[in-house]
Amino acid sequence: MDTQLWRIWVYLAETPLVGLTVTLAAYLIGDWLYRRARLNPLVNPVLIAVVLLVGLLMATGTDYPTYFQGAQFVHFLLGPATVALAVPLYRQFRQVRRHALPLLVALVAGSLTAAGSAVGIAWALGGSLETLLSLAPKSVTTPVAMGISQQIGGLPSLTAVLVILTGIAGAVLAPHTLNLLRIRDWKARGFAMGVTAHGIGTARALQVNEVAGAFSGLAMGLNALATAALLPLLIRLVFG
Amino acid sequence: MLGSLTLLLLCQLAGEIAVRLTGLPLPGPVVGMALLFLGLALRGEIPAPLTETAGALLRNLSLLFVPAGVGVMTHLALVEREWLPIGAALIGSALLTVAVTALVLQGMTRLLHKAGEAEE
């Protein structure tokens, strides 16, 4: 490579500018394709952006911590965005209160299904113990999932990855599953999305319908609480 | 815009402090969400600038998961070695969880609705 260009690259690679810019650019490409496909859940913008970025980083030999120096500015906004979910939730609160009991029962059923089925399937197909324990909290929003993973003996950093992959799988697969089951109520669709696919499911639900978005955000918060309370007990029962 | 962003950060900060003090198994931002919700309920309405700021953040919520998603590259070797159990668990569990949650919620709602009608 031309030495002048090389020097510019070495300089830029050390600043957060590149990581931040490529994150936004990759997402814009993903979002553009998603909109062109008329919000088809199979064309998930997070998945497209992640594939593009991993490809780019591997091609340029950039490691994750270097990339994250720039990407952390985007990552940081997850906190205030989670707080902001109170706004759609407040708008739907009368509906939430009216359905409190069904929501609670569905939450416990969904939370147990998420952890139980993931661990069961991976175990049946020969997953290692490390993988099984890291999979158990995968339907919960990242910071809580990492905490639970640590507590039960999984790998928190592997759990973080599995959480994101779960979110993508849920956002991609859930809409068609719900159509197939003829679930048309936006409250039920949103709530199921949030229990299955935490914030990534909520992002998808918000794009499609405000009521679904509010119930998905609610489900995400409640599922974090339910899984954190139930899972360590269950794991102690199963693995002694 | 700046005021409502500060409000969101203050709620998050209060949430982080509350979690540290009480040892609740929840992330600070989720507690912050509950605090903001309580504030809105006490006030009885959503201030217009907050509607705007929250809307701007939530419209781009998907983007915020991208940096963490790229973290998959740090575990590529393990994911490659155990791609079948991991892939099947993620896909199977997503299908089952969404179906069970939605069907239980729908079933319970109908059941209670019928019980309510019978009482009247």
- The answer to whether the Cβ–Cβ distance between A158 and B101 falls below 8 Å is no
What pLDDT does B12 receive? Answer: 95
As a whole number of angstroms, the distance between CA A7 and CA A2 comes to 9
Question: How many alpha carbons lie under 13 Å from residue B75 in its C-beta half-sphere?
Answer: 23
**Residue from B4, B26, B53, B61 whose CB has the most chain A CBs within 10 Å, to mutate:** B61
What pLDDT does A150 receive? Answer: 85
Helix A16-36 vs helix A64-76: crossing angle, to nearest 10: 70
Chain B hits for A203, CB-CB cut-off 8 Å, are 58, 61-62, 65
Chain B hits for A169, CB-CB cut-off 8 Å, are 90-91, 94
CB atoms within 10 A of CB A36: 10
As a whole number of angstroms, the distance between CA B85 and CA B39 comes to 45
As a whole number of angstroms, the distance between CA A103 and CA A97 comes to 9
CA–CA min distance B23, chain A (Å): 12
Chain B hits for A152, CB-CB cut-off 8 Å, are none
Chain B hits for A140, CB-CB cut-off 8 Å, are none
Do residues A123 and A132 touch, judged by C-beta distance below 8 A? yes
Do residues B37 and B54 touch, judged by C-beta distance below 8 A? no
A&B contacts, CB < 8 Å? 319
B99: which 2 tokens?
């179906």
As a whole number of angstroms, the distance between CA A85 and CA A95 comes to 16
Written as one letter, the residue type at A74 is V
A122: which 2 tokens?
């991976």
Nearest-CB residue to B27 (from A117, A141, A169): A141
**Residue from A51, A87, A129, A165 whose CB has the most chain B CBs within 10 Å, to mutate:** A87
B88: which 2 tokens?
């099947």
End-to-end Cα separation, chain B, in angstroms: 49
As a whole number of angstroms, the distance between CA A14 and CA A18 comes to 9
As a whole number of angstroms, the distance between CA A25 and CA A23 comes to 6
What pLDDT does B117 receive? Answer: 76
What pLDDT does A144 receive? Answer: 82
What pLDDT does A10 receive? Answer: 77
CA–CA min distance B8, chain A (Å): 5
As a whole number of angstroms, the distance between CA A144 and CA A142 comes to 6
As a whole number of angstroms, the distance between CA A139 and CA A159 comes to 10
- The answer to whether the Cβ–Cβ distance between A213 and B109 falls below 8 Å is no
Q: Which of these, B17, B36, B39, B70, lies nearest to A82 by C-alpha position? A: B36
User: Considering only alpha carbons, which residue of chain B is nearest residue A209?
Assistant: B59
User: Considering only alpha carbons, which residue of chain A is nearest residue B14?
Assistant: A83
**How much is the CA Rg of chain A, to the nearest whole Å?**
19
Q: Which of these, A183, A107, A217, A175, lies nearest to B106 by C-alpha position? A: A183
Mean pLDDT of B94-109: 96
As a whole number of angstroms, the distance between CA A171 and CA A216 comes to 11
pLDDT tens per residue across span B10-54: 999 999 999 899 987 778 888 899 999 999 999 999 999 999 999
Task: Give the dihedral sign, CA A201/A202/A207/A209.
Answer: positive
As a whole number of angstroms, the distance between CA A195 and CA B100 comes to 10
CA–CA min distance A155, chain B (Å): 11
What pLDDT does A184 receive? Answer: 94
Could you read off the pLDDT tens digit of each residue along chain A, which spans 240 residues?
578 888 887 787 778 899 999 999 999 999 999 999 999 999 999 999 999 999 999 999 999 999 999 999 999 998 999 899 899 889 888 888 999 999 999 999 999 999 999 999 999 999 999 999 999 999 998 888 888 888 888 998 899 999 999 999 999 999 999 999 999 999 999 999 999 999 999 999 999 999 999 999 999 988 988 888 888 888 888 776
Cβ neighbours of residue A100 closer than 8 Å, sequence gap 6 or more: none
As a whole number of angstroms, the distance between CA B8 and CA A137 comes to 27
- The answer to whether the Cβ–Cβ distance between A122 and B41 falls below 8 Å is no
Mean pLDDT of B64-71: 91
Q: Among A19-28, B51-60, B108-117, where is mean pLDDT lowest?
A: B108-117
What pLDDT does A172 receive? Answer: 95
Question: Tokens 């020969």 — which residue?
Answer: A126
- The answer to whether the Cβ–Cβ distance between B98 and A192 falls below 8 Å is yes
Chain A hits for B108, CB-CB cut-off 8 Å, are 101-102, 105-106
**In the structure, what pLDDT confidence band is assigned to residue B120 with cuts at 50, 70 and 90?**
low
Q: What ipTM is given for this predicted complex?
A: 0.90
Chain B hits for A105, CB-CB cut-off 8 Å, are 104-105, 108
* 3-state percent breakdown (helix, strand, coil) of chain B, nearest 5: 90, 0, 10
- The answer to whether the Cβ–Cβ distance between B15 and A83 falls below 8 Å is yes
What residue ranges do the domains of chain A occupy? 2-76, 83-239
Cβ neighbours of residue A29 closer than 8 Å, sequence gap 6 or more: A48, A49, A52
Q: Is A40 left (phi over 0), alpha (psi -120 to 50) or beta?
A: beta
